[in-house]
Amino acid sequence: MSSAPATPPSPPAVAAGPLDRVPAPALFVVSGLTLYLGAAVAVGLFETLGAPTVSWWRIVLAAVVLLAWRRPWRRAWTRRQLAWASLFGVVLAAMNIVFYVGIDHLPLGVAVAIEFCGPVAVAAVTGRGWRERGAIVVAAAGVVLLAGITLESDLERADVVIGLAAIFVAAACWAGYIVLGKRVAGAAGSGIDGLAVGMLAGAVVFAPFFGGSVTTVVPDVGLLAFLLVVAVCSSVVPYVLDQVVLRRVGTATFSVLLALLPATAVVVGAVVLGQVPSWPELVGLALISGAIAMTATAR
């Protein structure tokens, strides 16, 4: 008697970790706090190494930390998965490098507001409902108010032109990061492993441009320690949390939630630096909160 053909086994379910039970907006607040702490340390290193080199070392050391933690070589990878993870990492590295060039020439608030064009574009293309599309507009208005600075009087300065060019490239890379990050995050639960592989790929691709700084950085233990703080705060923690969130929400909702980052910067500035927000900035915070509530209702 012939037996029925065996049913192929289903892929293993991804076990929910402790972070999967934390609300996505709360994860973004933690991400923003660590991100801006790392940025504050990084700006202080620009005069020593230059903004692009600091950013490259941020990627290199983040790759080392993630590879030691995740050991992704233990997972069975297909060529397609490795290709997507590598492309994701190269885009991520490019985004960080040009963003650091931008904030070296522009105020941070202005740079963040302009770079937000990338997530807004992703949300506009991938959003499905009127609430999600409307939330994009509300969040974008909130980010503009949070910037609180105009560039009209500075557009003739060469450094501002360089900064603007870098930030617009960073915005395009940010859009690519979201789309590719969603693909990597959904690859059979291998998002953080894919992040580790991607970081390594990004570090290797840009090594010919910035690898000459190894002789300066490695012998200087203090400098290396500061760069490690930048890597952990600005790359490891935020991007790991991004992978957790991207596994749970769509790219449009993720794009709107990114608006929490400049909002977090305002709160940090008020508490840590005594930079009390103006009324336009407070309105911006309210608009962003409303956008998040709209996407939560839509989901």
**171-208 pLDDT per residue, tens:** 999 899 888 988 887 654 567 888 999 999 999 999 99
Question: Where do runs of H (alpha helix) occur along 148-235?
Answer: 158-185, 191-210, 214-217, 221-231
Average pLDDT along the chain:
78
| Rounded mean pLDDT, 45-60 | 92
Q: Name the pTM for this structure.
A: 0.77
Largest distance between two CA atoms of the chain: 86
Contacts of 218 (CB under 8 A, 6+ apart): 224
Q: Which of 114-123, 152-161, 216-225, 276-285 has the lowest mean pLDDT?
A: 152-161
Q: How far from 237 is each of 67, 229, 242, CA to CA, in Å?
A: 14, 11, 9
**SS3 (DSSP) at 231:** helix
Distance in angstroms (rounded) separating the CA atoms of residues 183 and 17: 20
pLDDT for residue 26 is more than 60:
yes
Alpha-carbon distance values, 292 to 69, 122, 133, 255 (Å): 32, 16, 12, 10
Cα–Cα distances in angstroms (integers) from residue 197 to residues 53, 129, 132, 179, in the given order: 20, 34, 32, 17
Q: Which pLDDT score is estimated for 296?
A: 57
Given pLDDT bands bounded at 50, 70 and 90, which one contains residue 5?
A: very low
pLDDT reported for residue 197? 93
Structure confidence by residue, pLDDT tens digits, 256-266: 777 677 667 66
The whole-number pLDDT of residue 230 equals 92
pLDDT in tens, 108-163: 667 777 787 787 778 777 766 777 678 778 877 877 776 655 455 455 566 778 88
Q: Is the pLDDT of residue 237 over 80?
A: yes
d(C-alpha 137, C-alpha 285), whole Å: 14
In the chain, domain spans: 29-298
User: Bigger pLDDT: 1 or 132?
Assistant: 132
Residues 199, 139: Cα–Cα separation, whole Å:
29
